[in-house]
Structure formats: structure tokens, C-alpha cells
Amino acid sequence: MADQRSMTIKGNMATAMGAKLCRPKVVPAYPITPSTLFPEKMSEFIADGELDAEMINVESEHSAMSACIGASATGVRTCTASASQGVALMHEMLFVASGMRLPIVMAVGNRALSAPINIWCDHQDTISSRDSGWLQFYAETNQEGLDLMINAFRIGEDNDVLLPAMVGIDAFVLTHTIEGVEVPAQEDVDDFLPPYEPPHGRLDPDEPSTFGSFGTPEYYQEFKQAQVEAMEGSREVIDRVFDEFEERFGRRYNKVTTYKCDDADIIILTMGSMTGTAREAVNRMREEGKKVGLAKLTVFRPFPYPELEEIMSGAKGLAVVDRNISPGGFGAVYSDLAGASINIEKKPLIKNFVTGLGGREIFVKNFVEIYEKTLAAVEAGEVKKPLEWINMNQEVMR
């Protein structure tokens, strides 16, 4: 392996550099806070001759995703970036991209949805695209943001997968924060990620063919099932690609990464940048002799049922922390986990904690509170309140 370059960069720069190392050919994008730096940097790379690609400045995110679909269908590697209202505006086209099995990669600066207008960190934007058939990855750090971009192309383009992928980096906490990052050498990424060769043909004026056509009731359901099978098949591909990535670049990724879970009575399940603060909380609680562990979800789609089943088997209580909410329901991670665990015989009590919405901080003390509330449920032997809100502003509540 060639030497990696150590730099201090923002999360947006990390995903942009990750994307650039993958040599995309087309980058259609519409800037939106907090991911604006991504298209800016991609434009710069192209203008400076560091990246041989076509930048398409479009008039909306709907158009950005439409252009991604057209470009990707011609058989070239395609990426974009967006956030919040932008992801919401392209919602319709997200389904078209996955239904046409186009392995587009999108970096998302995870941000709240209006109203009220809010530009800060929240997972509602990508969570609300949960059912669009895209692979979903969430980064804890800028390093993860960069690395997951490379992994996302490799996994999505695998012939057994052929699905688009989103890489989420938390608004401001990562997008606008400088951290130390190791940037892989171009030659190593070139070895790791071969050029994209679509196996089922491409849009070509010389050889006309139809893409994304009509699917009548006789066919539609089978197309959807094939998409689901691709998503299921991606589980093994993700493991294999993460293994290869570690072998080549020395950094380990898992669908779910556990920390001090072996003897833990209570496990806290997190996603995204909050994981760092949760780890700090676990360390402090461990010093006080509390048997608490941490599980970090890096892959949300496909939802890692088997891995989480294994983690759940040993614990007495599981605290699922969601940075999103389905009004009338629960947080998305909790819902999936509850669905996954319903037929498991030996499972912990599971509680859902919603916090961190719209940029609300999640402090170490909040994770301590989450631990204590889960422990209290375990000691009482029942979950009286499955959903609890954490770190509410009491002034506003009055």
C-alpha cells in the first residue's frame, strides 16, 4: 500500500475527497446547507484538472437526481450530494434510481426537515428515504465519511447488488468540523475499485434500448422482489468489501461495531456522530463499575438483523437512540429492531430514546440518563414507556 496522506479536513471535504478518489465521470448537484462544500470542491477538482468529470449545475435537487439517473444509465460512475429539503425534493427520483438498479452514490449532510426551518443535525432526511431502495451508511467521523464513500461505490456496483447508496455525515458536527483524516493513495483506490462496468447494457444512441419502462401488474411485483433480493445479497458483499478494505487500508468497518458489550447488561445502540459521545459516556460509566456497552450502526439499509440479534442475545436491556421520529410511531432504528426481535425467544427489554433532533446536543449526561432509564426498566421487569424524549428544553416546554 502506498502511504496515506494525513490532513485535517471538514466532513464535506472528506466525502468530496472520497468521491474524487473513486473517479466519478458525472457529478450533477444542487448546493444546499450543510453539504454545499461538496459540489464546490468537486467543481474545484474538475477545474484544477485533478478530476476528469462533467459537473452539471442543475436547477433543483429533483433535477440533480434525474441527471444522476441519466448519467448512470449511460454506464458511467455518478455521484452527488444533498441534504434535508434537497433529499426530500428528490424523493420521487430516488425510487427511480434504485428501481433502475443504478449504483449512484450520494453524500448527505444529515439535517432536519422543515417546519420549523432548521439547518442542523438530524437523521430525518435520509431516514425518510428509508424505503427508497438505497443502501444507507452513516459515519461517526470524517474518516468514516471518506472511507464509506469508497466502500459505497464498491458495494453498490457489485454485480450481485447494483443499488444506489447514501453516505450520511452529520450536519455541522461532521460537515463543518475539522478532524484528522488519512487520505488513501489514488493507486490503492484504483486497485480497490475497478472501473464501473454495468453488466446489463447501457444507454447508447448507437444501440438503442429501453430503461425504466412500464411495469404492469404481471411484472411489477417481481421487479420489487428482485430489488429486495439485491438488498439481501448486499449483506454478504458488504462484509466481503469491508474485509478487503481493512486488508488494504488498515481501517475496520462493520455493519454493527460493538464496544465493551461482552459482559454488558445494558447496551446503547447509536448511529452517526453521537456514537463518539456515547463511547465517552460508556467509558466514564465503566469506571464507576456499570456494566454498559455500546453498539454502533454503520449500515442502516440493509438493516443488520443477524448481527443485532447476536448482540441482543446477551444483554438484559437495549437502549435504541434515534435521531429521527415517525410521529405516531417510533424512531426508525427502534422500529426495525423491534420488528427483527419479535420472534427471538431470548431478547432484552428494548427502549426507544429520541433526541438530537434539529441540532439539539446529545451530552455525555444524556447517555448516562438513557442507561439509567433502561436499567430501571430491566429492574422493574417491564417497559412502561417504550418511547422517551431526552434532553428537552424545559423552558420551551412550559
Partner 1 sequence: MYEVRFHGRGGQGAVTAANTLADAAFREGKDVQAFPMFGVERRGAPVAAFTRIDTEPIDIKTQIYEPDVVVVLDTSLLDVVDVTEGLKPDGKIILNSAKDPGDFDYPGADVYTVDATKIAVDNGLGTETNPIVNTSILGAYSRVVGNVKLESLYDGIANNVPVKIENNKKAAKEAYEQTKGL
Tell me the Cα Rg of the chain.
21
- By rule CB under 8 A, what string of x and - marks binding of each residue 106-135 to partner 1? -------------xx---------------
At 147, the amino acid letter reads D
- By rule CB under 8 A, what string of x and - marks binding of each residue 235-254 to partner 1? --------------------
CB of 72 to partner 1, least distance (A): 33
Question: Segment 156-185, which members bind partner 1 (CB under 8 A)?
Answer: 172-173, 176-180
Residue 42's φ and ψ, nearest 5 degrees, are -65, -40
Here the cell at position 290 is: 456499570
Query: Residue 292 CA to chain centroid, in angstroms?
Result: 25
Nearest to 291 by CA among 362, 378, 353: 378
Here the cell at position 116 is: 420549523
Q: Does 258 bind partner 1 (CB under 8 A)?
A: no
Please report the DSSP string for 131-173 in residue order. GGS-EEEE-SSHHHHHHHHHHHHHHHTSTTT---EEEEEETTT
Closest CB to partner 1 among 71 and 281? 281
Q: Please pick, from the candidates 182, 190, 239, 280, the single residue that binds partner 1 as defined by CB under 8 A.
A: 280
Nearest to 110 by CA among 59, 18, 174: 174
Q: Can you point out the beta strands (E) in 220-316? A: 256-259, 266-271, 292-297, 299-301
CB of 12 to partner 1, least distance (A): 12
CB of 397 to partner 1, least distance (A): 21
Closest CB to partner 1 among 188 and 280? 280
Q: How far apart are CA 167 and CA 377, in angstroms?
A: 34
**Bridging pattern class, strands 317-322 and 256-259:** unpaired
181 membership: H or E segment, kind and range: strand 178-183
Q: How far apart are CA 353 and CA 266, in angstroms?
A: 14
Q: Please pick, from the candidates 6, 210, 343, 393, the single residue that binds partner 1 as defined by CB under 8 A.
A: 6
CB of 241 to partner 1, least distance (A): 25
Q: Please pick, from the candidates 283, 326, 335, 341, the single residue that binds partner 1 as defined by CB under 8 A.
A: 283
Question: Segment 350-379, which members bind partner 1 (CB under 8 A)?
Answer: 359, 361-364
CB of 361 to partner 1, least distance (A): 5
Here the cell at position 328 is: 405516531
Q: Which residue has the cell 404481471?
A: 218
Q: Does 335 bind partner 1 (CB under 8 A)?
A: no
Q: Please pick, from the candidates 35, 85, 273, 355, the single residue that binds partner 1 as defined by CB under 8 A.
A: 273
Closest CB to partner 1 among 134 and 249? 249
Closest CB to partner 1 among 7 and 185? 7
The footprint of partner 1 on this chain (CB under 8 A) covers a number of residues equal to 24
Q: How far apart are CA 186 and CA 5, in angstroms?
A: 11
At 377, the amino acid letter reads A
CB of 364 to partner 1, least distance (A): 7
Closest CB to partner 1 among 75 and 359? 359
Query: Residue 102 CA to chain centroid, in angstroms?
Result: 18
Here the cell at position 78 is: 455518478
Closest CB to partner 1 among 63 and 141? 141
CB of 190 to partner 1, least distance (A): 26
Closest CB to partner 1 among 7 and 58? 7
Query: Which positions touch partner 1 (CB under 8 A)?
Result: 6-8, 119-120, 172-173, 176-180, 273-274, 276-277, 279-280, 283, 359, 361-364
